[in-house]
Amino acid sequence: MTETTDPVKGLVAGYGAASPAWSWNATVGYGRPSVVTFAFVAAPGPGEWQLSPLGAPARAAVRLALDAWAAACGVSFQEVTDTGNGGAAMLRFALDSSVPAGFAAWANLPTAGTDSSELGFKPDFDWNAAAAGNWLFEVMLHEIGHALGLKHPFDTVWGGSGYTLVPWLDDNQNTVMSYSNATGTYRATPGAFDTAAAGYLYGTDLAEQTDGITWSFDAATQTLRFTGSAARETIAGTHARDVIVGGGGDDLLDGLLGDDRLYGGAGRDTLRGAKGSDLLNGGGGNDSLLGGEGRDTLEGGAGHDTLSGQWGDDLVLARADGDLLLADWNGSDTADYRRAPGPIHAVAMGGPDFLVLVTGGGGTDTIQGGYETLVGSGFGDLIELGAGSAVQVVRGGGGDDTVAGGPWRDVLVGGAGRDVFRCGAWWETGNTLATADVIRDFSVSTSTLPGAFVDRLDLSAIDAIPATPGDDAFVFRGTAGFTGAGQIRAQAVAAGTLLRLNLDADTTTTEAMILLKGFADPALLQAADFLL
């Protein structure tokens, strides 16, 4: 423990920590003006038996205390509807019967992007009598100080540098965080030391008013909208639903909690969705998009962008214009190329990685990691899965596509158009119904003309009889049984039509299978539906 006369060292709970902590802007760094949402508990949630609503006069006093803190530093407060701990409100106010003996109230330090700070007031006191300049009101100022990241001047906090304020400065005339009162009077506003400490965390009130970032609140949708300027800016959202528009400049946008929408605009931006199901759009420039937790949608826009869904089942809207798509093996991610300007060619690089390029020109995307679903463009695509590919579902999109499965159990969807489904080796698909590759939309021609087809299954790369010299082609047997090696037969099953591939003389076994899901009548298949 080290005594200090510096109010910042003596009051900031996270001062000296290895990284910013215990402030609502900890994810973007100290000194950034912030909007903090708050709510009054009206109906306690599960496990909140100890909470009950504050009376209307007490709520009015809390709002007045919040205004006093807003005037002392770069924090603005916005009241929202209470949705429980970890919901839209970063601060939650209530009567709390679990406040220990010897205390009038308590509050926990801020944890940006996770839980709410609960400010509980002991029901034994008449909080409706709180008014600027009396003891009850100073207690409100004190607890809000904790919820913003300030500690008692005589306490050290784990993770910080262990400073305490020198005893002769530990008084409520300097700070509402003090337990000492030499004059017998009570504060109506934060003290000078509080202003210095909160300014260290959130900047000054003047800086907030002149930083070029504007914000508004839509009460009907409980949404905050932040708009940046042409300058380089850092904008942190709230725990509510946010819309953050960066404007020009190389911006850092952080959604924190809530289902947010982040738009980078021009410049080289970094967008972080954090928690919630977020939409991130980089706009122009070479941007970095990080989805965080939740089911996120990422779109890089123009430029060479890096897109990472991170945790959750994420959707990346790609264009094959020179982006890097990263998967973090958490959840089931989709790379969707329906917005590409032309047909794509997806080429396996070995392992889980791909190159995706626009045929005939344009950029080349690199896909690294475990994307489980790959969706093609609206044109005629060529999608080839390779050994080690994590992709399990391929959707061709519109156009006449060629879709090639890999060594794992694949689910292939051609989409509109005349598609070719390619299997390059018999061992790339399983030999049981549970492990077989699946084609979900195989279509055949309704024409009575011989040789007519819509989609085709390409097995021409497989040697149908590996035990003999040469490269043998399969013979399609229709629904009839096997009579020898190198044959394919179609069988009706509950899920559709099962294609059985026999590669040896044992006609009682099947070496490989492919399921045409939803294809009810195997008798509709003919040899023209295959490339053998």
What are the tokens at 171?
């008084």
Q: What is the DSSP letter of 97?
A: T
Question: What's the pLDDT score for residue 303?
Answer: 78
Task: Give the residue carrying structure tokens 């907030």.
Answer: 208
What are the tokens at 172?
């409520």
Contact call for residues 150 and 143 (beta carbons, < 8 A): no
Cα–Cα distance for residue pair 62/130, rounded to 1 Å: 9
Q: Which residues contact 212 (CB under 8 A, 6 or more apart)?
A: 228, 229, 231, 233
Q: Return the amino acid letter for 417.
A: G
User: How far is C-alpha 117 from the chain's CA centre?
Assistant: 23
Residue-wise DSSP of 152-204: -TT---TTS--EEE-GGG-STTT-TT-S--SSS---SS--HHHHHHHHHHH--
Burial of 111 (0-12, 13-18, 19+ CB in 10 A): middle
Pick the closest to residue 420 from 510, 529, 495, 316 (CA basis): 529
> Distance of CA 248 to CAs 304, 308, 531, Å?
17, 22, 54
User: How far is C-alpha 425 from the chain's CA centre?
Assistant: 37
Cα–Cα distance for residue pair 354/105, rounded to 1 Å: 57
Question: What's the pLDDT score for residue 417?
Answer: 82
Cα–Cα distance for residue pair 381/271, rounded to 1 Å: 31
Question: What's the pLDDT score for residue 161?
Answer: 59
Residue 489 β-bridge partners:
500
DSSP 3-state of 215: strand
Q: Determine the CATH number of domain 2-208.
A: 3.40.390.10
Q: What is the DSSP letter of 127?
A: G
Residue-wise DSSP of 361-385: SS-EEEEES-EEEEE--SS--EEE-
Low-confidence ranges of the chain (pLDDT < 50): none
Residue-wise DSSP of 274-289: -SSS-EEE--SSS-EE
Question: What's the pLDDT score for residue 328?
Answer: 66
Cα–Cα distance for residue pair 4/160, rounded to 1 Å: 14
488-519 pLDDT per residue, tens: 999 999 999 999 999 999 999 999 999 999 99
Cα–Cα distance for residue pair 2/164, rounded to 1 Å: 6
Q: Tell me the domain boundaries of the chain.
A: 2-208, 230-309
CA dihedral 244, 246, 250, 255 (to 10 degrees): 0
Q: What is the pTM of this model?
A: 0.80
Apex CA 66: angle with CA 60 and CA 71, to 5°? 130
Task: Give the residue carrying structure tokens 């019967």.
Answer: 97
Pick the closest to residue 284 from 306, 304, 271, 265 (CA basis): 265
If phi > 0 it is left, if psi is from -120 to 50 it is alpha, else beta; for residue 276 that is left
Q: What is the DSSP letter of 433?
A: T
Cα–Cα distance for residue pair 139/181, rounded to 1 Å: 13
Question: What's the pLDDT score for residue 376?
Answer: 77
What are the tokens at 341?
């300007």
Residue 431 — φ and ψ, nearest 5°? -115, 20
Residue 35 — φ and ψ, nearest 5°? -100, 130
Pick the closest to residue 360 from 332, 382, 339, 334 (CA basis): 382
> What do you get for the CA distance between the two ends of the chain, in Å?
80
Q: Which residues contact 408 (CB under 8 A, 6 or more apart)?
A: 389, 392
Q: Strands, E, within 337-473: which ranges? A: 344-350, 353-358, 364-368, 371-375, 382-384, 393-395, 402-404, 411-413, 420-422, 437-439, 456-458
Question: What's the pLDDT score for residue 77?
Answer: 97
If phi > 0 it is left, if psi is from -120 to 50 it is alpha, else beta; for residue 19 that is beta
Residue 435 — φ and ψ, nearest 5°? -110, -5
Cα–Cα distance for residue pair 128/118, rounded to 1 Å: 19
What are the tokens at 36?
């903090």
